[in-house]
A and B are shown apart, each in its own frame.
Chain A
Amino acid sequence: MAARHRFSSNQNSSSGSWSISQSFASQFSNTPTKDPPEDSLNDQIAEVMSVANRDRTTEFQSVLKSIKTRQPNGVTPHANAKTPLLQRSEFSKYAKRIGTDLSKTYEKLEKLTLLCKKRTLFDDRPVEIQELTYIIKQDITSLKRQIQQLEENKTVMQTNTKRDVQRHSTSVVRTLRSKLANMSENFKSVLEVRRENMKQQKLRKDQFSSSNLSSSMPSSATQGTRGSVLLMDEQRSSNPSGSVAISMDGGDHPGRSSTQHQTMQLIDQQDSYITERAETMETIESTIVELGNIFQQLATMVKEQEEQVMRIDSNVEESELNIEAAHTEILKYFQGITSNRWLMIKVFLVLIVFFVIFVVFFA
């Protein structure tokens, strides 16, 4: 009932998206037999705006087909024997179905946006928002799958068709894909807006309810385990390595303060898991930064040691030069000596004389 209430209040926004869905439907419908069901749908829109409206022409036609096959001259058609026209109409039917699903998901997304944009402090409906988010996520994945199937269908039936038809089907698939991408982007931005709002709400709650907490802390004894559990939870959420033994009694407690405690406790629980993940990511990030630093230092040290290497190189070259030069000198000397015969004879004569004198002396 609450759902219908909200839908009637959102009538204007939904009518816009319904017209989008209608344009989708008209774009992808091929056969004229589909128009009468659409008119009846139009009438239904005027009366009740609810998402329970479904386009059942596809079911109707599948029933017709099954009746046809039950007749005596009806042979169950094989997939390969389908005429190109049949394949084409199936393709367009499928595309039309995807279009309507897309429009429905758009509506849900709009509802979610409206819910998330509310800035009141106490009218927040986190359960509904989370459910809706979950449903929209499921829808997006199923739509992706359906578009994938549609594309596969298109490649299957491309054997007998003309080029224009092929191009049309490619452009149809592309349009659907782009619309889906658009929607997922919107979804992402809505989630971010929701996160921001939640943060602000938490801040405001802390501001407004800090006095509330102090007044209810003496009554924690009377409230049973709830108040003291909240204290323990706050202490533990600030201590990241502690994991935790909280056994809460389920069940509703009357009074706004306790529901506030409850939501805060819920958010704290979620927060501790999420803050743990965030801390881990931060550790990883700082480790990576440290690693970068270490690499930088490595590079600096190698560059400094490069200088030493150059010095060694120059020293060694210098010594090589010197040794070469000295070698040349000695060679010159040697050549001078060996070519100087008279000098050699003179030197040897002197030697022999001295040798003879010494031998004569000692003998």
Chain B
Amino acid sequence: MVKLFSMSLLYKGPAVVIPLTSTYDLMSFNYFQRKSIQEFMTFTTQIITERTQTGQRQSVKEQEYLCHVYVREDRLTGVIIADQDYPRRVAFTILSKACEDFASKVPSKDWPYGQQANIQYNGLEPMLLKYQDPKEADAMTRVQVELDETKIVLHGTMESLLQRGEKLDDLVAKSDALSLQSKTFYKQAKKANSWCCVIQ
């Protein structure tokens, strides 16, 4: 089952990584575990961002989660923590989209100095909710799914077309027989007519 657990944006400065904004979806965990899991996720994102170079995309496997990180050229970083089934490509597409959206809303001079409280950006949460379903995020996935459905429908159509063919063959045979019998009928009627005259 595909699921996103958290999304966060950070700024990878030359010496230190500064978290800018993050959002978590931990409904699937125990209430008492949530705080520790959130801390663990924050810590993991920090470490992973430190270890990734600029202009690079990486996916790191951590217990049963996958962390996808993308460090952009201007050092804005996006990290997504998802489960194993979430397709990698879609995660990176989401990261690119989120980074661009953030860059357009928050001016870039704020990034090296931002704290989580200062930055006014609340577009991450709706994105996290929306992109729980990978089809929403990625047009290519959507297209692929629709094409597969269309293919299935078409296969069904082919089957019914073959059945139609069989029925048509049946009809041909029956109409053949019908025409033969009607011909016999006509001949007999003609014979009866002429026989009647013979009687006369």
Contact = CB atoms under 8 A, between A and B. Distances in A.
Interface in A150-202: none
B89 A276 contact: yes
Interface in A322-353: 322-323, 325-327, 329-330, 332-333, 336-337, 340, 343
Interface of A, secondary structure class, is: helix
Interface stretch (A6-14, A37-45, A309-317): A309-317
Contacts of A309: 168
Contacts of B197: 336
B111 interface: no
Interface string B120-154: 00000000000000000000100110011011001
Given A127-B55, A243-B88, A266-B56, A277 B140 contact: yes
B68 to A, nearest CB: 9
Interface stretch (B3-11, B18-26, B33-41, B170-178): B170-178
In order of increasing CB-CB distance, the 8 nearest A-B pairs are A322-B182, A315-B175, A319-B179, A326-B186, A329-B189, A319-B182, A245-B61, A326-B189
B88 A319 contact: no
Contacts of B59: 243-245
A180 B162 CA distance: 57
Interface string B171-200: 110011011011101101110110011011
Nearest to A328: B189
A280 B50 CA distance: 31
Given A322-B182, A332-B193, A280 B154 contact: no
A287 to B, nearest CB: 5
Given A277-B89, A333-B193, A298 B179 contact: no
B172 A312 contact: yes
Contacts of B53: 248, 250, 266
Contacts of A127: 54-55, 73
Given A248-B52, A319-B179, A301 B189 contact: no
Interface of B: 48, 50-61, 66, 73-74, 88-89, 92, 140, 143-144, 147-148, 150-151, 154-155, 157-158, 161-162, 164-165, 168-169, 171-172, 175-176, 178-179, 181-183, 185-186, 188-190, 192-193, 196-197, 199-200
Max chain A C-beta neighbours (<10 A), residue from B48, B179, B183: B179
Contacts of A249: 51
Given A250-B51, A319-B178, A336 B151 contact: no
A354 interface: no
